[in-house]
Structure 1
């Protein structure tokens, strides 16, 4: 008999009833160190007092009015994002998947309004993940994402990750945009080298293509800058954001330059819940923390400390781990053992990690994780690795 909850998830046998900072408490009282942060969502950990206060204050005022009216919290959060990024304008969504849908529409509408309606193709890369909507799975293109869901939305051209010649060959007179994650998350924590992002920017400028960055997972301070592309010194035309921007409250956004957004006039897109007062009130509180340079300096310091400890862990368990990869507090452990076995051993050691492609486990802790919790997390990972070795 089918479950009352559609069984599309292979859930671990864990039920968390409370969160405190970097910790999750199971129904039976066990305390787990959370190095997953809800898959890079809980950027300030669980039950951060400023986020709780922002949500509570707004909940006691107004929850929802719809985008038929002005929403002051939405305007304030948009102003903050414009102030701290390349963007001139922001559209708020509920998720990264919805942000992908708008980014695709925006790029195609741009060329339509420029009198080139045939320019609809968007180049994407192997190993990518852009959500599970029709556009998102078509953009990723992998069999795992698309099998059984045809016919797929046309207009996506897939090239191998890191293959510069294939990318050049893929550009044609009907290409509208290039869509890429500056650091692949689901694909196995694979950062795009700075010189490659610079090359993509140069190609986009030379050909007139729009450059779209998917920073749903790698954005909002995760790599030690507010957004990961900042390390390379280049900017996109359109950027997808979600996960950490709401600190645990469902919130996403598309950021764009005035030129890239020029086709999106009144009536071309909308959302019932996108940019609602509750989500934006929490998003403002998140931005007030994460956009602070001193906060980002601490992310980088902690990232260095964690990476150093992880390098030692890899050296101590060569039959379990192969290498550390990633940037900031978006790190991956490339496994020799089966990554699912390492994740499961972590549950037994009461530490949470997240599997990814390429036999990697992701470490995506809250950005404000303490030094003591970093040390304890590595101790628990060490116990998990020892258990895998003994199995």
Structure 2
């Protein structure tokens, strides 16, 4: 009996030890596969969370840009009924699309302010035509579609001007934002026409730009930074005047701005869509400026500017910008804007226009100013067109 019990125990032990190896291998394989699946799922979940966060950040960024553009519309008093828009997802980017109904002057002023915003947010112009402007950066694409008043009788600005040609028509050109690129400053100064170079103070090449302008007998302006309506989102830079700048500090700031350049023959506002609407502040600014120059040009960055009228009331030599020619940095656009000036001669004998220190602007002026001169327009020094 005892021997049987022992043999039964041995049999049981043997039965316990006889777990099929395939089961063990299969179990290990199953656990490994399960761990891999869980790891893959974990990675996908994390990637999905990243994608969701990225999309959310894109939309938040787009909403902020949308608010900034809305603020510009509000500041320029663009009627809501003439400015519709939509925000949608297009491929991997957020699309902000605007449908505008504006006249030419409103479009020019709007694009000047929009241009500052696009530059700050590192947008690049991707397309333009007479009625459309597109710009995009890494996350957002913005499209402005404009419907304007129709041109009359299919006549180009050139044809209209030639029909009503007047040899007394004078055009003066100011190029803003000088001081940030010495090579472009040299190219601009070499153009054989009396172009005014308006220099922003405290930039890397401000002083050197003034020297180059003087060497080429170009008029030098202080491009005086002033508070825009989009401040603080848009910073006018060092040496700026703000709405809350006290009178005593305005005098100090302007003195330092002039001292930084070393020499000025006049001034015009850099940005300033907010400050140029404030009569009291403009009186303080121009009274301080009179110690250094009697000449001021209202850049006309706001449709409600009082700067020109305040300038006249102070018995200074005053002028008003009639058109920005390079809100879009494209040669065809700039050329078109330059020739749009011809139609303005139906209303004015003397016109001031403003461009910026850009390669395309310089190239168009170099190519087209001789043609304008041949049409009887006198390209003249800024001093000759002031009131």
Q: By the TM > 0.5 criterion, same fold?
A: no
* Bigger Rg, which one: 2
| TM value normalised by structure 1 | 0.33
Structure number with greater CO (CA < 8 Å, separation at least 6) is: 1
Q: Which structure shows the higher helix fraction?
A: 2
